[in-house]
Amino acid sequence: GQIIDSEGPYRLLYCSSKGDRAGVLQELEKGVEPNLADYDKRTALHLASSEGRAEIVLLLLEKGADVNSLDRWGRTPLSDARSFGHVVICKILEDRGGIDPGAYGEVYLVKWRGTEIAAKTIRSSIASNPRVRNSFMKELGLWQKLRHPNIVQFLGVLKHSERLIFLTEYLRNGSLHDILKKKGKLDPPTAVAYALDIARGMNYLHHHRPHAIIHRDLTPSNVLQDEAGHLKVTDFGLSKIAQEKDSYSYKMTGGTGSYRYMAPEVYRRESYGKSVDVFSFALIVHEMFQGGPSNRADTAVQVADRRAYEDSRPALSSLYPEPIKALLRECWHKNPDRRPTFEEIIFRLEAIQESFQKKTVPSCCDCMIL
């Protein structure tokens, strides 16, 4: 893919994220607005704060950047600096009146018509921002229409004074992250069954009509287990509704999603398509066979950086079934066009599952079939 933000109007964002002071000054002197925002309403100040570029943060503030600009998820530059542990930048932003509205809000367990459900509150500081509110309501309108056994069921929205509360089914078994923490690596048949659940949910999103949906933050924490032991995809806070005519390629410049599961093209801020979710999926499947993430000693940003610029990938143990190894290599391929679709992944996982089932049936015995 072509890097879209190193030239043209987005050059300010690119230079800010890279810590290029001369480049930032050049753009501002050209008359580029310091509050220019990308596809996800992320400003140069958001990017510099995320990447730990203190000098650029000071420069942008001096040139009139809005310290409390909100991106489409209601995050401010201070929220980003806190998330990535940039203490110096937090201090700079706080001294200039920066606020951290936090995430959308808290999740509560409530009873609704006798059934336990999850209620997520949207903070009033976010709900009262018209831009964020409109974007949020648009996405809620979409999620109300989604119905699939491997997608967490959205139940409705309540408005309480200025606060929005949205309701989803409650899955008491927790997330795949919790399961792996408790059990360690899974046996191959269980891992493949779980992988199929995730792939079916994702295939539904990618084939959604009239517009495909890219999750963009598929991680073990965003996959929950129901009472029957099946997995369901959840947490669509970062999802992008693809409304372009070319439904394969979308452009963005912010590092959206969780770094440890991020596709290289997203980390490099290139144009991307649905296959970013396939990349994340491969890392999740790898964790199920391994019992957790690889490179645990490294920070998530270090892991993402090496994947993006050195083609680093997790090691595949000789104990993994060969068809799984082949599938993972394709799913995390550096060329997004070479990654299989979820439809193809389902077909291949079903064949692998069938081969496991054949192995468990004895080839001969003394039983008589009546």
Identify whether residues 283 and 151 lie together within a single domain: no
Q: How far apart are CA 65 and CA 58, in angstroms?
A: 10
Kindly give, in sequence order, each residue whose CB lies less than 8 Å from that of residue 326, ignoring residues fewer than 6 positions away.
Answer: none
Identify whether residues 245 and 321 lie together within a single domain: yes
* Residue 249: per-residue pLDDT: 42
> Which parts of the chain sit beneath pLDDT 50?
1-5, 238, 243-256
* Residue 35: per-residue pLDDT: 92
CA 176, distance to chain mean position in Å, is 15
Give the domain range for residue 148.
107-169
Residue 75 lies in a domain: yes
- Chain position carrying tokens 């409304």: 243
Q: Which of 146, 169, 192 represents a domain boundary (last residue)? A: 169
Q: Pick the catalytic residue from 217, 226, 235, 277.
A: 217
Residue 365 lies in a domain: no
Q: What is the C-alpha R_g of the chain?
A: 22
* Residue 245: per-residue pLDDT: 37
Q: How far apart are CA 175 and CA 219, in angstroms?
A: 10
Identify whether residues 226 and 277 lie together within a single domain: yes
Residue 54 lies in a domain: yes
Q: How many CB atoms lie within 10 A of CB 125?
A: 18
Residue 366 lies in a domain: no
Identify whether residues 192 and 244 lie together within a single domain: yes
Residue 319 lies in a domain: yes
* Residue 246: per-residue pLDDT: 37
Q: Which of 54, 69, 95 represents a domain boundary (last residue)? A: 95
Q: Which of 50, 66, 95 represents a domain boundary (last residue)? A: 95
Residues 232, 224: contact at Cβ < 8 Å? yes
Identify whether residues 90 and 156 lie together within a single domain: no
Residue 2 lies in a domain: no
Instruction: Check: pTM over 0.85? Answer yes or no.
Output: no
Identify whether residues 136 and 37 lie together within a single domain: no
Identify whether residues 217 and 295 lie together within a single domain: yes
Q: The domain spanning residue 240 has which CATH number?
A: 1.10.510.10
* Residue 133: per-residue pLDDT: 67
Residue 64 lies in a domain: yes
Identify whether residues 90 and 135 lie together within a single domain: no
Identify whether residues 145 and 19 lie together within a single domain: no
Total tally of structural domains belonging to the chain: 3
Q: The domain spanning residue 30 has which CATH number?
A: 1.25.40.20
80 is catalytic: no
Q: The domain spanning residue 122 has which CATH number?
A: 3.30.200.20
Cα 200 to Cα 205, 232, 344, 363, distances in angstroms: 9, 9, 11, 31
Written as six digits, the tokens of 56 are: 């650029």
Identify whether residues 248 and 341 lie together within a single domain: yes
Q: How far apart are CA 182 and CA 195, in angstroms?
A: 18
Identify whether residues 86 and 195 lie together within a single domain: no
Residue 362 lies in a domain: no
What burial class does residue 335 get, using C-beta atoms within 10 Å of its C-beta: 0-12 exposed, 13-18 middle, 19+ buried?
Answer: exposed
Q: How far apart are CA 268 and CA 309, in angstroms?
A: 8
- Chain position carrying tokens 């001096």: 62
Identify whether residues 151 and 187 lie together within a single domain: no
What burial class does residue 81 get, using C-beta atoms within 10 Å of its C-beta: 0-12 exposed, 13-18 middle, 19+ buried?
Answer: buried
Residues 22, 30: contact at Cβ < 8 Å? no
